[in-house]
């Protein structure tokens, strides 16, 4: 039986944080004023050192402006993400790329996936908790929790804001195929 992996894009396979940081630098905001550290919470406004720290409206302004200037097409894939997911695809997994990007009306996300060499079987834009894949790879703690409660095996990167999240954490993408190949409780990919 073919199993399905649903994979988030921003800060899971694509480095949104560095993309936004680079955009802020391009706009003339220097590191001395805004060091733009790695976020400690999924909500970036809760991390100091960004031009929008403590101000959700300012975050929306910066994000919207960055997206309009091509942020989604400029993000870099995390090292090893393409190879790991293509290895799983070649091994027979169905790969569904998923995002909550409501502002990608130009289709930059799918072009980015193709341009960077990701092999995938489907693309979903919306509330991920409405689907029930066998495995979810995501960085949003509330989504990981909701999917684990549905019995979905959840994996997440080791970003500071999701290290305490439910599921199996990975440091490098190269580990993901190995994690999904581990038998646990008599089945493949048994981590929750």
Written in H, E and C, the secondary structure of 99-127 is: ECCCCCCCCHHHHHHHHCCCCCCEEEECC
User: For residue 69, how many C-alpha atoms fall within 13 Å in the half-sphere facing its CB?
Assistant: 13
Residue 106, φ and ψ in degrees, nearest 5: -90, -5
Q: pTM for this structure?
A: 0.93
pLDDT of residue 137: 99
pLDDT of residue 38: 97
**DSSP H or E segment with residue 67:** helix 56-68
pLDDT of residue 185: 29
Any idea which residues carry the catalytic annotation?
8, 10
Cα–Cα nearest to 191, from 160, 151, 157: 151
Ordered mean pLDDT values, 10 residues apiece, the chain (192 residues):
94 98 96 96 97 98 96 97 98 96 89 98 96 98 98 98 96 97 53 38
Which pairs with CB-CB distance under 8 Å and at least 24 residues apart come from 34-38? 38/159, 38/160
pLDDT of residue 106: 84
pLDDT of residue 187: 38
């Amino acid at each position: 039986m073919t199993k399905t992996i649903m994979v988030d894009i921003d800060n899971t396979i694509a480095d949104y944080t560095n993309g936004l940081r680079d955009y802020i630098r391009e706009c003339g905001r220097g590191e001395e004023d805004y060091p733009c550290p790695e976020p400690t919470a999924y909500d970036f406004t809760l991390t100091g050192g960004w031009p929008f720290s403590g101000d959700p409206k300012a975050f929306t302004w910066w994000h919207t402006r960055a997206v309009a200037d091509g942020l989604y097409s400029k993000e870099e894939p995390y090292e090893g993400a393409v190879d790991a997911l293509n290895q799983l695809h070649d091994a027979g997994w169905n790969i569904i790329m998923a995002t909550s990007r409501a502002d990608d009306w130009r289709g930059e996300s799918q072009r980015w996936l193709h341009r960077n060499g990701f092999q995938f079987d489907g693309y979903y834009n919306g509330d991920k908790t409405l689907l029930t894949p066998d495995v979810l790879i995501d960085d949003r703690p509330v989504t990981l929790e909701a999917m684990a409660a549905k019995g979905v095996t959840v994996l997440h990167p080791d970003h500071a804001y999701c290290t305490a999240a439910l599921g199996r954490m990975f440091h490098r993408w190269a580990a993901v195929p190995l994690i999904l190949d581990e038998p646990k409780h008599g089945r493949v990919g048994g981590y929750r």
